[in-house]
Structures are given as C-alpha cells and as structure tokens.
C-alpha cells in the first residue's frame, strides 16, 4: 500500500496493511545527521561578532530577504530528512512568522517574543521568552500583524514545490505560518494575564481570534490548493497535569473558529489533525466535536493514558503519537528499549486501526538513529493483523 | 459565625470575581474589620476553597491564576492599613527556573499562589545559576527554595543547586522543592532535592509543611 493511502485510510478509520508511521518533524541536529552537516554550523555563523552586529543594526529589514529564505531552506531540509528516514507521514512546516529584532531576539507577528539561542548541538533554536502585549496600548499599536493573503500566497508556492518533490513518497501533514489560536493568545499576553484579558478585554481577544482564524483558513486553503492531503495544527491546550483552562471555556472561545477551519478542510476532501501537548484527557471529546480526524501527541511525560483514550475514542478519531522523547528517543536509551516500546504500543493500540505511531515531539536531543530503530520496529510489529497478543500491552 | 462582609470577600475569591473584590474588601474595612481578619477569614478561606476545587478538577490552572489576580487586586487596599510584618509571616521563598531553561509559567503560578498565601517571594527569574540562588539564600536568610525545570536536558542544574547549598554549608538549613514538566518524585530523589510538587497547590502544601516544621 502506498504511504499516502495508508495514512489517509487510517485517518478515515479504514483498514490498512500496517500501522503507519508519522514523524513529528525533525530539528537541525537530526536532519544534519541524515543529510550531512553544513560547512559552517548555524551557531558559529550566528554567534559571529560581525553577524551579531548586522543583526543588531539591521535585523528587522533583513528578515524578509536574508533570514527568511534561510529558514525556508531549513524547513525543506526537515521535510527531506523525514522522507529519507522513511516515514509514511511527516510534518511539513513553512514558518514565516518571525521578525528579527536583534541577534538573540525575534518576535512572532502575533505578539510574542522569542530567544534565538544555541541548541547545544551546534545549531540555533528559538524558545519563547515573553509576551509583547503587556497593556492594551501594546495590542492597539502592534506593528507586525500578519498579512494573511501574502502568507497564503507563499504557502501555496512552497507547498506546490514540496508536494511535487516529496508528495509521491510520503503523506505531507502541512502547516503554514499559522500556529494555534489559543497558544498564540497565551504567548501574546502571557499565561498569567490570559484569564484577565479573556475576562476584561473581550473585544480585543475576539479580534485576536479573528486574525488568527483568518490566517489559518487562508493558509490552509493555499496548502490544499497545492495538493497537501492533511492539515496539521499545533495548539497546546493542556499542561502536564490537565487542561490550561476550563474545557467549556475553551469550547466557547476557540470552538467556533476550529469548527469553521476544520469544516473548510473537510469540504475540500482533506483531513485535519490537531497536535496538543500535555494531558488533554478532559478535552478529547471537545476536540472530536470540532471534527478532528486525528489527535497527536499523547505526551508520555504528562498524565494522559494513550491506551485508555484509544479504548474510549478509537472508533471516532485516529490516535497519533505515543513514543516518548524524554528518554526513549535520546542518546541515553538502548535500541532494544525503543523496539520493545514500539512493540508494546502497537500491540495495545494497533488492533482495530486508527493508530499512527509517532514521536510525541521534535527535539534537538533526538538522534536520527533512534528514529530508524523506531521505524524498523514499527514495520516488524505493525503488519495487520497484529500478531502480538494484546494482553502484553498495558 | 462568619461576618457577612468577610464571607462576601471569601465568595469573591471563590467565584473569581475580579470586578467586585475591591469594593467588598473596602466594605469590610469600613465596618471596622482589620486587614488581618480579612486576609485570614476572607482571602485565606477563599483561596482554600479555590485550591480544593482545583484538586477535585472543578477548577483549572487558569482559574488558579485568576484567583491570584483577584487577590492581587485586593491587596493594595489591605496593605495600606496592614502591619508590615504580616506579608512575610509564613517565610520567604526563593523561586527560580534553573540554569539553561527559560520556561517560567509554572514558576510564576507557584509564586502567585505563595504570595497570595502570605509568603514573601523572591523571584530570581529564568536561567538562574546555582551560585545566584545560594547567594540569595545567604543574603536574604530565606530557607525555602523552589526550582522549576521544563527541559529534560537541564535537570542536572537541579543537582548543581543542591551541591552549591552543600558547599556553602547551607544544605541542612534550606529545603529545596522541585517542579515542572520534566520533574518527578524519582528525579527529586536522584538529584538530592527535598520534595517534588506536581501542581502549584502541591507546592503550597509542601512549603506550608516546611514552614511549620521550621
């Protein structure tokens, strides 16, 4: 069976030949191991005093012409590496959301500030630092709101190329410059103030949601026009111990937007997958009511029980994830441990279909070799009918 | 039986009533109640109810934050008439996200809950070195330290704080509590810390225990 058919059938709840595999993206360290290291590492380049000087002086105007093309090249390398590793499905991102402020600061166009910093493996990565909207004046004067039409245009151009290069080898889960509506709000106003904004700044919060919904709708349509078969959206609605806010409030605030976004994807015959970190146990029914076809990550460091969720919801939604990145997919684990965990997950989650095995995250600590071990085990144990007795799964 | 106006303050905290808490606190003061009475019976009991609702799943993290905001809204009115010693009667807690990690949401939630419950919080921010934390413990006399870590790659920084406290001769005096996405009871034991809290309410309970034992 072709990987795209295998994945689409699984997302639709239909029988397939084996459990598909999905890669939750790869970071620079991992794709360098697959594709070969660059002559000059990102860290050496971006910590060079001359480059720092340039970024500090002219970072913002150079973002579009120098920084962004490099980021886009990096995004294509991520896709290529995932294909070369041999995954059935992969996370393909176009990220045109950042503006460089100085050599260690970037802002995302929806109002959040990020550190640009070394990842410990010779590359640069970004990490959320703080909100940009401390006051309503900050919100009203924000100069970087996204141009959804321009972003949709570049999403179409990028994904047309990616589909033509890689679409026949793997199923592309596309995401183009639109991050989760809720998490974007959280980053923009800060978690400590988000409940107050929601209570006191209803009009601005509504405006913020509308801007992000429009961005999702337009970039999703552009990706679908380019031939992407699955749209994936990140929106971390939970922390380690449970939902960030009351599930009812989440549904009231963000549900209408997500229902429209997902309906538009379904109207064009495509599938929709939501990635949400943390323990979403109390939110799965809400997500399913929005119309999602698949749910990713079932983070192993949170309290979520992926086996329970498969039993409860496996007839209505495809469970994607399960392979931990805190220990299993690191240099510290043994290959046999990865193989055994893949076998255990497939034994417990594979029967009945609607399961795609996948790392729960992308991290710079993931060695390419461990992903290969995971893939080999998935192919060995994942052929239907699953032969491992289910009682061996916990 | 509880005074009706104090009960209204308690209920305002419980129902996360950001808009009316100030007028309710002012009404208590106008009736001659002391700030200490309002804090103990109104705000304190309100926060207890919120904490219980969080633990039983009726309230969520955002509600905990909101309760902290409601208290923050009311505190300036009370502080103007308060005995200055009260704010730190439960002790001082140093909070920090460990070196190499810049995630601070969890730490800030803990700080807000501790402040609302009468602790003086010295928040050192993110990416804080072990030496800064121990220097602060020495200079402030604080004996309670809360460390936050999200990145599994940075857990060794917890051990560095434990070792720095030992090197400074403070290990027997300070209590080091850890929390954050990558932490666990097992990690607490492995790093030689004193306690692990999964939630902000856990952290409050742990610090209360250490504070009372001191």
For B69, the closest of A195, A239, A243 (CB atoms) is A195
Do B178 and B187 form a contact (C-beta atoms < 8 A)?
yes
Residues of chain B within CATH 3.40.50.280 domain(s) are 87-213
User: Which member of A195, A240, A326 has the closest CB to residue B152?
Assistant: A326
Fold designation for B4-83: 1.10.1240
pLDDT in tens, B106-133: 888 888 888 888 899 999 998 899 999 9
Is B18 touching A (CB cutoff 8 A)?
yes
- CB spacing of A120 vs B153 below 8 angstroms: yes
CATH for B87-213 is 3.40.50.280
Q: Are B142 and B151 in contact (CB under 8 A)?
A: no
Sole residue written with tokens 């923009």:
A188
Task: Determine the distance in angstroms separating the CA of A59 from the nearest CA of chain B, rounded to an integer.
Answer: 23
The answer to whether the beta carbons of residues A94 and A154 sit under 8 Å apart is yes
- Which is nearest to A87 in space by CA: A300, A318, A376? A376
Q: Is A242 exposed, middle or buried (0-12, 13-18, 19+ CB in 10 A)?
A: buried
Query: Does residue B145 carry a pLDDT above 50?
Result: yes
pLDDT of residue A389: 55
Q: How far apart are the first and last CA of chain A?
A: 30
Say which CATH class A3-25+76-98+132-392 falls into: alpha beta
Written as six digits, the tokens of A231 are: 């749209």
Interface confidence, given as ipTM, is: 0.88
Could B61 and A282 be called an inter-chain contact, meaning their C-beta atoms sit closer than 8 Å? no
State whether B198 and A199 contact (CB < 8 Å): no
> CB distance A241–B18 less than 8 Å?
no
- Residue A53 contacts B, CB cutoff 8 Å: no
Residue B165: the pLDDT is 96
Q: Mean pLDDT in each 10-residue stretch from start to end of chain A (394 residues)?
A: 98 97 96 91 88 94 92 96 98 97 96 92 90 98 97 98 98 97 97 93 98 98 98 95 94 98 98 96 98 96 94 97 93 96 97 97 93 98 82 47
Domain ranges of chain A: 3-25+76-98+132-392
| Mutation site for A-interface testing, chosen from B17, B59, B62 by largest number of A Cβ within 10 Å | B62
Q: Which two tokens stand for residue A217?
A: 């709708």
The per-residue pLDDT for range B83-112, each reduced to its tens digit, is: 665 555 689 999 999 998 877 778 888 888
Closest chain B C-alpha to A275 CA, distance in angstroms: 18
Closest-CA distance, A130 to chain B, in angstroms, reads: 9
CB within 8 Å: B153 and A194: no
**Predicted confidence (pLDDT) at residue B155 exceeds the cutoff of 90:** no
Chain A residue with minimal CA distance to B154? A120
Q: What per-residue confidence (pLDDT) applies to A392?
A: 46
Give the separation between CA A347 and CA A343, rounded to whole angstroms. Answer: 6
Chain B contact present for A311, CB below 8 A = no
Residues 142-161 on B with a CB inside 8 Å of A are 152-153
The residue count for chain A: 394
Q: Nearest-CA residue of chain B relative to A281?
A: B57
- Predicted confidence at residue B88, as pLDDT, reads 58
Tokens coding A339: 């193989």
Residues 112-141 of B with CB under 8 A from A: 112
Indicate the residue of A200, A243, A301 with minimum beta-carbon distance to B60: A243
Of B112, B181, B199, the CB nearest to A192: B112
Q: What is the pLDDT of residue A328?
A: 94
- Considering chain B, tell me which residue range(s) the CATH 1.10.1240.10 domain(s) occupy: 4-83
In whole angstroms, give the CA distance from residue A187 to residue A127.
11
Contacts of A243 in chain B (CB under 8 A): 60-61
Give the pLDDT confidence score for residue A388 in this predicted structure.
62
Pseudo-torsion of CA A374, A238, A11, A35, nearest 10°?
-40
Among B195, B98, B88, smallest CA distance to B141 is for B88
User: For chain B, what is the mean pLDDT?
Assistant: 89
Subunit contact A243:B109, Cβ cutoff 8 A: no
- Tell me the chain B residues in contact with residue A127 when contact means C-beta distances shorter than 8 Å: 102-103
A196 touches B18 (CB < 8 A): yes
Enumerate the residues of chain A whose CB falls inside 8 A of the CB of residue B68.
192
Give the pLDDT confidence score for residue A174 in this predicted structure. 98
Report the gap between the CA of B127 and the closest CA in chain A (Å): 11
Q: Which of B57, B62, B106 sits opposite A195 (nearest CB)?
A: B62
pLDDT digits (tens, 9 = 90+) for B3-17: 899 999 999 999 999
| Confidence at residue B36, expressed as pLDDT on a 0 to 100 scale | 81
β pairing state of A112-118 and A124-131 = antiparallel
């Amino acid at each position: 069976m072709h990987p795209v058919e295998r994945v689409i059938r699984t997302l639709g709840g239909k029988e397939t030949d084996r459990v598909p595999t999905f890669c939750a993206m790869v970071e620079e360290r991992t794709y360098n191991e697959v594709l070969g290291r660059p002559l000059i590492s990102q860290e050496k380049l971006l910590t060079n005093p001359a480059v720092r000087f340039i970024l500090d002086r002219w970072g913002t105007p150079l973002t579009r012409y120098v920084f962004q093309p490099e980021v886009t090249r990096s995004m294509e390398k991520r896709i290529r590496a995932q294909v070369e590793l041999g995954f059935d499905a992969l996370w393909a991102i176009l990220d045109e959301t950042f503006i460089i402020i100085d050599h260690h600061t970037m802002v995302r166009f929806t109002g959040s500030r990020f550190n640009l910093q070394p990842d410990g493996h010779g590359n640069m990565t970004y990490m959320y630092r703080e909100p940009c909207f401390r006051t309503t004046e900050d919100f009203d004067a924000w100069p970087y709101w996204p141009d959804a039409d321009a972003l949709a245009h570049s999403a179409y151009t990028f994904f047309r190329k990616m589909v033509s290069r890689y679409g026949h080898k793997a199923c592309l889960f596309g995401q183009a410059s639109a991050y989760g509506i809720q998490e974007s709000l959280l980053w923009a106003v800060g978690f400590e103030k988000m409940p107050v904004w929601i209570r006191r700044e209803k009009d601005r919060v509504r405006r913020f949601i509308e801007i992000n919904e429009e961005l999702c709708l337009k970039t999703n349509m552009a990706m679908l026009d380019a031939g992407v078969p699955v749209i994936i959206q990140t929106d971390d609605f939970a922390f380690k111990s449970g939902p960030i806010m009351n599930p009812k409030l989440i549904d009231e605030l963000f549900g209408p937007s997500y229902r429209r976004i997902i309906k538009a994807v379904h109207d064009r015959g495509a599938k929709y997958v939501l990635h949400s970190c943390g323990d979403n146990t109390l939110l799965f029914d809400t997500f399913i009511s929005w119309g999602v076809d698949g749910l990713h990550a079932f983070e192993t460091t949170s309290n979520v029980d992926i086996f329970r969720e498969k039993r409860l919801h496996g007839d209505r939604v495809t469970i994607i994830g399960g392979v931990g990145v805190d220990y299993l997919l690191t240099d510290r684990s043994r290959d046999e441990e990865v193989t055994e965990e893949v076998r255990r997950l497939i034994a417990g989650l594979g029967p009945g279909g609607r399961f795609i095995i996948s790392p729960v995250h992308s991290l710079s600590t993931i060695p390419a070799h461990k992903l290969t071990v995971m893939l080999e085990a998935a192919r060995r144990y994942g052929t239907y009918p699953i032969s491992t007795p289910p009682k061996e799964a916990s | 039986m509880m005074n009706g106006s104090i009960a209204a303050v308690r209920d305002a905290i419980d129902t996360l009533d950001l808009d009316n808490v100030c007028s309710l606190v002012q009404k208590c003061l106008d009736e001659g109640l002391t700030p200490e009475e309002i804090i103990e019976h109104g705000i304190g009991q309100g926060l207890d109810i919120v904490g219980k609702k969080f633990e039983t799943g009726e309230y969520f993290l955002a509600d905990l934050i909101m309760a902290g905001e409601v208290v923050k809204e009311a505190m300036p009115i009370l502080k103007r008439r308060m005995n200055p010693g009260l704010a730190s009667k439960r002790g001082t807690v140093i909070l920090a996200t460990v070196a190499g990690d810049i995630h601070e949401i969890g730490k800030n939630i803990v700080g807000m809950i501790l402040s609302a419950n009468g602790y003086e919080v010295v928040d050192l921010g993110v990416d804080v070195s072990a030496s800064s934390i121990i220097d602060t413990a020495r200079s402030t006399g604080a004996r309670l330290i809360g460390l936050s870590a999200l990145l599994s790659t940075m857990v060794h920084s917890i051990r560095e704080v434990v070792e720095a406290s030992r090197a400074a001769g403070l290990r027997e005096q300070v209590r080091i509590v850890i929390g954050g996405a990558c932490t666990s009871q097992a990690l607490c034991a492995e790093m030689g810390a004193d306690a692990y809290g999964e939630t902000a309410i856990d952290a409050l309970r742990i610090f209360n225990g250490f504070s009372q034992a001191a």
